[in-house]
């Protein structure tokens, strides 16, 4: 394949969706969407109910395959057979609370599926102290305070659970994290911490996509704003070039047509 084939059409050197269409029968959930995300960048996906945001995420995660178009990750066209395939490449999708197990502690959540094991007389035994030490260090490095990493996740706040997910993603070498409505259930202080967590992840050179209905959060955290309307990408611009008004108009379809950068 020539190098020009993988060159991003709309920014982004980590992930590109190229001319992606997703049909469910007669419904086009996405129509000819091209979108790029670069390392060290936060992109907010905006749009009304049914605009196509979740569909875009499902394609990025490999839970559904696009009807046409392609996904390029790290310069290589990919066909993810399942979410496991995208995860192995460093793509993490975080649905609020769904990826945390409430009835186990922070350490167990942190090492879920990647437990450290030693053999004692041939019997596999969890290296609990080592896992605890690492979890404490990573949580502290990530600026997240929890009373004890030995408490069950159910006793933590939504923001703290989100911090576990982000710290875990960074620790295990993730490259792109997609956060679906990360602040929907959080209070003001927790949102502030959540925004800080996302900035920290971005500043480490990782890519972040957040899906939100909240324009204020998008303007606070995102480097770029992308708006979907009825399956089409109708705005893709640096946040500094957008106003609340132009973005609202792009979402609702009111006002003059908006330009894609």
Ligand X SMILES: Nc1ncnc2c1ncn2[C@@H]1O[C@H](COP(=O)(O)OP(=O)(O)OP(=O)(O)O)[C@@H](O)[C@H]1O
Interface contacts to Mg ion, rule CB under 5 A: 54
Q: Dihedral of CA 93/98/103/106: which sign?
A: positive
User: Nearest distance from residue 22's CB to ligand X, in Å?
Assistant: 8
Query: Rounded CA gap, 238 and 242, in Å?
Result: 7
Query: Rounded CA gap, 187 and 78, in Å?
Result: 38
* Residue pointed to by tokens 């979402």: 251
202's contact among Mg ion, ligand X, none, with CB below 5 to 8 A by partner kind, is none
User: Nearest distance from residue 94's CB to ligand X, in Å?
Assistant: 15
Task: For residue 95, give every residue at least 6 positions away whose Cβ sits within 8 Å of its Cβ, in sequence order, or none.
Answer: 180
User: Strand order of the sheet with strand 68-73?
Assistant: 27-37, 15-24, 68-73, 76-78
User: Nearest distance from residue 48's CB to Mg ion, in Å?
Assistant: 10
DSSP codes, 170-236? HHTT--EEEEESTTTT--HHHHHHHHHHHHHHHHTT-EEEEE-S-HHHHHHH-SEEEEEETTEEEEE
DSSP codes, 212-231? -S-HHHHHHH-SEEEEEETT
51's contact among ligand X, Mg ion, none, with CB below 5 to 8 A by partner kind, is ligand X
User: Nearest distance from residue 31's CB to Mg ion, in Å?
Assistant: 17
Whichever of 178 and 222 has its CB closer to Mg ion, that residue is 178
Cβ-closest residue to Mg ion?
54
- For the CA atoms of 199, 200, 202, 208, the dihedral, rounded to the nearest 10 degrees, stands at -70
142's contact among Mg ion, ligand X, none, with CB below 5 to 8 A by partner kind, is none
27's contact among ligand X, Mg ion, none, with CB below 5 to 8 A by partner kind, is ligand X
Whichever of 139 and 247 has its CB closer to ligand X, that residue is 247
Whichever of 46 and 108 has its CB closer to ligand X, that residue is 46
52's contact among Mg ion, ligand X, none, with CB below 5 to 8 A by partner kind, is ligand X
* Assigned token pair, 34: 């091209």
List interacting residues with ligand X (CB under 6 A).
Answer: 24, 27, 29, 47, 49-55
Whichever of 52 and 194 has its CB closer to ligand X, that residue is 52
User: Nearest distance from residue 54's CB to Mg ion, in Å?
Assistant: 3
Whichever of 132 and 212 has its CB closer to ligand X, that residue is 212
User: Nearest distance from residue 49's CB to ligand X, in Å?
Assistant: 3
Whichever of 27 and 125 has its CB closer to ligand X, that residue is 27
109's contact among ligand X, Mg ion, none, with CB below 5 to 8 A by partner kind, is none
**Which one-letter DSSP state was computed for residue 239?**
G
Q: Are 33 and 233 in contact (CB under 8 A)?
A: yes
């Amino acid at each position: 394949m020539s190098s020009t084939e993988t060159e991003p059409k709309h920014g982004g050197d980590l992930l590109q969706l190229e001319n992606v269409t997703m049909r469910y029968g007669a419904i086009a959930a996405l129509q000819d969407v091209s979108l790029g995300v670069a390392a060290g960048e936060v992109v907010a996906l905006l749009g009304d109910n049914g605009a196509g945001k979740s569909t875009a995420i499902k394609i990025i995660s490999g839970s559904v395959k696009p009807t046409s178009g392609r996904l390029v990750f790290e310069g290589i066209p990919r066909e993810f057979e399942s979410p496991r395939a995208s995860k192995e490449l460093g793509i993490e999708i975080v649905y609020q609370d769904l990826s945390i197990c409430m009835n186990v502690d922070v350490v167990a959540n942190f090492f879920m599926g990647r437990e450290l094991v030693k053999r004692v007389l041939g019997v596999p035994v969890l290296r609990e102290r080592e896992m605890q030490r690492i979890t404490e260090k990573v949580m502290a490095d990530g600026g997240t305070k929890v009373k004890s990493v030995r408490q069950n996740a159910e006793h933590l706040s939504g923001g703290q659970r989100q911090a576990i997910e982000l710290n875990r993603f960074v620790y295990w070498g993730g490259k792109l994290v997609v956060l679906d409505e990360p602040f929907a259930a959080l209070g003001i202080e927790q949102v502030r911490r959540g925004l800080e967590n996302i900035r920290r992840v971005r500043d480490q050179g990782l890519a972040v996509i957040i899906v939100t209905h909240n324009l204020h959060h998008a303007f606070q955290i995102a480097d770029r704003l992308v708006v979907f309307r009825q399956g089409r990408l109708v705005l893709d611009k640096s946040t500094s070039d957008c106003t609340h008004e132009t973005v609202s108009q792009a979402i609702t379809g009111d006002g003059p047509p908006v330009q894609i950068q």
